[in-house]
A and B are shown apart, each in its own frame.
Chain A
Amino acid sequence: MFYREAGQFKTTYPSDMAVFPIAQDRIGLGLILAAAFILIPLFASDFILSSVMIPFLVFSLAAIGLNILTGYTGLISLGTGAFMGVGAYACYKLMTIFPGVNIIIWIISAGFFSALVGIIFGIPSLRIKGFYLAVATLAAQFFLQWCFVRIPWLYNYNASGAIEVGTRTLFGIPIVGPNATPEARYYVMLCIVVALTWIASNIVHGKIGRSWMAVRDMDIAAELMGIKLLDTKLLAFAVSSFYAGVAGACMMFLWYGGGEASDAFNINQSFLILFMVIIGGLGSLIGSFFGAAFISILPTVLKFGLPAIGIPLSGATAEHLIHILVGALIIFFLIVEPHGLARLWQIGKQKLRMWPFPY
Chain B
Amino acid sequence: MDASVQTKTHNLAKGDTLLAVDNVSLSFGGVKAITDVSFDIKKGEIRAIIGPNGAGKTSMLNVINGFYHPQQGRITFKGETRQKMRPYVAASQGIARTFQNVALFKGMTTLDNIMAGRTLKMNTGFFWQLWRHGPAMREEVEHRHIVEEIIDFLEIQAIRKTPVGKLPYGLQKRVELGRALAMEPELLLLDEPMAGMNLEEKEDMSRFIIDVNTQYGTTIALIEHDISVVMDLSDRVVVLEYGRKIADGTPNQVKNDQTVIDAYLGVPH
Say how far B119's CB is from chain A's closest CB, in angstroms: 6
B125 to chain A, nearest CB (A): 10
Do most interface residues of chain B lie in helix, strand or loop, or is the interface mixed?
A: helix
Query: In the bound complex, do residue A14 and residue B137 qualify as a contact, i.e. CB atoms below 8 Å apart?
Result: yes
Specify which chain A residues have a CB less than 8 angstroms from the CB of B67 in the assembled complex.
220, 223-224
Partner of A210, one of B112, B124, B126, B137: B112
Nearest chain B CB to A313 CB, angstrom units: 42
Q: Which of B6-14, B31-39, B85-93, B257-265 contacts A (4 or more CB under 8 A)?
A: B85-93
- Among B73-81, B100-108, B204-212, the stretch that binds chain A is B100-108
Q: Which of B90, B99, B108, B120 has the most CB of A within 10 A?
A: B108
A347 at the interface (CB under 8 A from B): no
Interface string of B239-263 (1 = CB under 8 A from A): 0000000000000000000000000
Residues in B124-144 with C-beta less than 8 Å from chain A? 124, 126, 129-132, 136-137, 139-141, 144
B116 and A210: CB pair below 8 A? yes
- Could you mark each residue 1-41 of chain A with 1 if its beta carbon is under 8 Å from any beta carbon of chain B, else 0? 00000000000011001000000000000000000000000
| A202-B129, A203-B129, A220-B103 known; A225 vs B119 contact (CB < 8 Å) | yes
Which of B91, B119, B124, B140 has the largest number of chain A CB atoms within 10 A?
B119
- On chain A, the residues within 8 Å of B91 by CB distance are 224-226
A205 within 8 A of B: yes
Shortest B150–chain A CB gap in Å is 14
* Contact for A225 among B106, B108, B144, B179, CB less than 8 A: B179
List 12 interface pairs A-B (beta carbons < 8 Å), by A numbering.
A13-B140, A13-B141, A202-B131, A206-B129, A207-B136, A211-B116, A214-B108, A218-B103, A225-B119, A226-B91, A227-B116, A283-B107
Contacts of B103 in A (CB 8 A): 218, 220-221
> How distant is A25 from chain B, measured CB to nearest CB, in Å?
15
Contact flags A33-72 to B (C-beta < 8 A → 1, else 0): 0000000000000000000000000000000000000000
Cβ of A263 < 8 Å from any Cβ of B? no
Closest to B106 in A: A217
Q: Does B44 contact A (CB under 8 A)?
A: no
Question: Are B99's CB and A202's CB within 8 A?
Answer: no
Tell me, rounded to whole Å, the shortest Cβ–Cβ distance linking B127 to chain A.
11
Inter-chain contacts of B107 with A (CB < 8 A): 213, 216-217, 283
Interface size on B, residues (CB 8 A): 39
Residues of B within 8 A of A207 (CB): 119, 122, 124, 129, 136, 139-140
A residues lining the B interface (CB < 8 Å) = 13-14, 17, 199, 202-203, 205-208, 210-211, 213-214, 216-218, 220-228, 235, 283
Contact B112 A226 (CB under 8 A): no
Chain A hits for B145, CB < 8 A:
13
Residues in chain A near residue B120, CB distance under 8 A: 225-226
Cβ–Cβ < 8 Å partners of B139 in chain A: 207
Binary per-residue interface labels of chain B (53-95) against chain A in the complex, 1 for a CB within 8 Å, 0 otherwise: 0000000000001110000000000000000000110111000
For the complex, give the distance between the alpha carbons of A193 and B91 in Å.
Answer: 38
Q: In this assembly, does B47 line the interface, its C-beta being within 8 Å of a C-beta of chain A?
A: no
Name B182's closest neighbour in chain A (CB-CB): A225
Bound CA span A288–B184, Å: 37
B130 touches A199 (CB 8 A): yes
Distance of A44 from chain B, by nearest CB (Å) = 32
Q: State the CA gap A53–B117 with chains docked (Å).
A: 42
A residues within 8 A CB of B129? Answer: 202-203, 206-208
Provide the residues of chain A in CB contact with B96, threshold 8 Å.
225
Which residue of chain A lies nearest to B183 when distances are taken between CB atoms in the complex? Answer: A225
With A213-B108, A225-B91 known as contacts, the answer to whether A13 contacts B144 (CB < 8 A) is yes
Q: With both chains docked as a complex, state the minimum distance between the C-beta of A351 and any C-beta of chain B, in angstroms.
A: 18
Q: Report chain B residues within 8 Å CB of A220.
A: 67, 103
Q: Is B41 an interface residue (CB 8 A)?
A: no
Nearest chain-A residue to B137 (Cβ)? A14
With both chains docked as a complex, state the minimum distance between the C-beta of B173 and any C-beta of chain A, in angstroms. Answer: 13
Q: Are A205 and B144 in contact (CB under 8 A)?
A: no
**Distance (Å) between the CB of A115 and the closest chain B CB?**
12
B43 located at the interface, meaning its Cβ lies under 8 Å from any Cβ of chain A in the complex: no
B86 to chain A, nearest CB (A): 10
- Cα distance, A241 to B74, chains bound together (Å): 43
Taken together as a complex, chains A and B put the C-alpha atoms of A208 and B117 apart, in Å, by 12
The interface residues of chain A lying within 8 Å CB-to-CB of B132 are: 202, 205-206
